[in-house]
Amino acid sequence: MGTLALIIGAVLVLPSFVFVDSPERAAREYLDALVEGDVEVLTAHSESLRGATGATLAGPIYQAAQDRVTSYRINAVEASDTAATVQVTLDAGPEQKQTELSLTAHSAGPFAPVDWRVDPVPLTSALVTYPLGTLEILVNGFALPIADLTPQIDDMGQPTVSIALLPGTYEIAMPDAGEYLDPIAATVTAPAQLTIGGPRLGETGYGLSELGHQYVIDEIVRELEECLSTHADPLGGCEVQYPVEELPLDEGTAVLENDGDTDALESDEVPEIARGLADDLLPPGAEVEARVATVPQLVVFPAPYGTYEAYGFDGELEVITEPGLSGEAPEVTKVPFGVIASVVPHTPGEPPQVMLADPSTGLVYDVCIEAETGRASAAVREPGTDEAC
């Protein structure tokens, strides 16, 4: 009995370091989860999302990310009684990253086992902008309903969602919207340093497909031809722009040529668009006929609410003047011109709305909401007219 009491007493007075856990073991548990894509372990050691949705912290989405951590090497461990730092080299995509993990020792008392835990690791958040009316976005090919992502409207009226990301590179894109639009993907990288979080920006949406470009230019020409053939003062009353002011185009802007091929503008090829017809082009009192002789080239820029501004340049009108008060003979004149139009996508798969713009008055965008579905879309109208919805 005395021997048993001595053994029990010895156990009771053993110091807690006999039961001390290893900070390296805790670090390896986290790093193994990073390599294996164990989202449950990783999110348990992540900082608060701070307003970003965790819908993207799912195994299939993370495992489909590029540039993930594929292996690691522990270089050094520095520890005190209550805190530790583990220096690590991570193999992530084409690069190696030097980083560190901070750990804290936890214990319920002097005789309780010590439990080393990785301190909360910062999460990267991506602020994703998308077109008005979008119902879902694709993250690494997996569809996430916008309604599940806490959507917000930023100061510019642009819809946004904030999504949380584990280390890796993600593709964020829009779903297919038919033959007139091409989804534009954004690539967002959450760094693998494990000490760097914070926001990134992912701007995604749609661009006009080649068919969409062609539809827009055909609509512009159709509207112009109709106006030129019916208006009493076609050169003054139709939305054609003369002679010349520089367009706000950047190097590399896509332009659809008349033959249907798509090229990019070089820095020295920024086109100019005409604004204002020379007073001496027409004799006083002359009657004028005009038609489109050369279809303008078209470039398209994103505009508010998922709409676009289309600029046509290097077009040519054929202007026929009948004898006027000064008795001149009929004359055919080629006049360079450009156009500005607003383009609004409608229901996916349907042609967009195209509306020629008068630069002196501009256009107004209305946000329309369908009562039955709640789907929002944009419509464009001239100032002073009734709402387009």
pLDDT tens digit sequence for 299-342: 887 777 778 888 888 888 887 776 554 556 666 777 788 888 88
Amino acid at 197: G
Q: Cα(33)–Cα(35) distance, rounded to whole angstroms?
A: 5
3-class SS of residue 181? strand
CB 199 within 8 A of CB 94: no
Q: Cα(355)–Cα(199) distance, rounded to whole angstroms?
A: 37
* Helical (H) or strand (E) element with 377: strand 376-381
Q: Cα(312)–Cα(300) distance, rounded to whole angstroms?
A: 9
User: Residue 243 above 80 pLDDT?
Assistant: no
Amino acid at 29: E
Amino acid at 360: S
Residue 144: the pLDDT is 93
Q: Cα(145)–Cα(205) distance, rounded to whole angstroms?
A: 15
Rounded to two decimals, the pTM is 0.72
In terms of pLDDT, which residue wins out, 199 or 246?
Answer: 199
Residue 246: the pLDDT is 45
Q: Cα(130)–Cα(160) distance, rounded to whole angstroms?
A: 6
User: Residue 202 above 60 pLDDT?
Assistant: yes
Q: What is the pLDDT of residues 2-52, one digit of tens each?
A: 444 444 433 344 343 334 568 999 999 999 999 999 999 999 888 877 778
The predicted model gives 252-277 an average pLDDT of 44
CB 105 within 8 A of CB 118: no
Q: Cα(233)–Cα(355) distance, rounded to whole angstroms?
A: 20
Q: Cα(196)–Cα(100) distance, rounded to whole angstroms?
A: 11
User: Residue 83 above 50 pLDDT?
Assistant: yes
Encoded tokens for 76: 């050094």
Helices (H), the chain: 2-12, 23-36, 39-44, 59-63, 210-230, 234-237
In eight-state DSSP terms, residue 295 is P
Q: Is the dihedral of CA 380, 381, 383, 389 positive or negative?
A: negative
- Which residue, 281, 246, 253, is CA-closest to 267? 253
| Site of tokens 């917000």 | 152
Q: Which of 287-296, 301-310, 319-328, 347-356 has the lowest mean pLDDT?
A: 319-328
* Helical (H) or strand (E) element with 292: strand 288-294
CB 342 within 8 A of CB 310: yes
Q: Is the dihedral of CA 49, 55, 58, 63 positive or negative?
A: negative
The predicted model gives 198-215 an average pLDDT of 84
Beta bridge partners of 125: 164, 199
Beta bridge partners of 169: 66, 189
Instruction: Label residue 270 by pLDDT band (50, 70, 90).
Output: very low
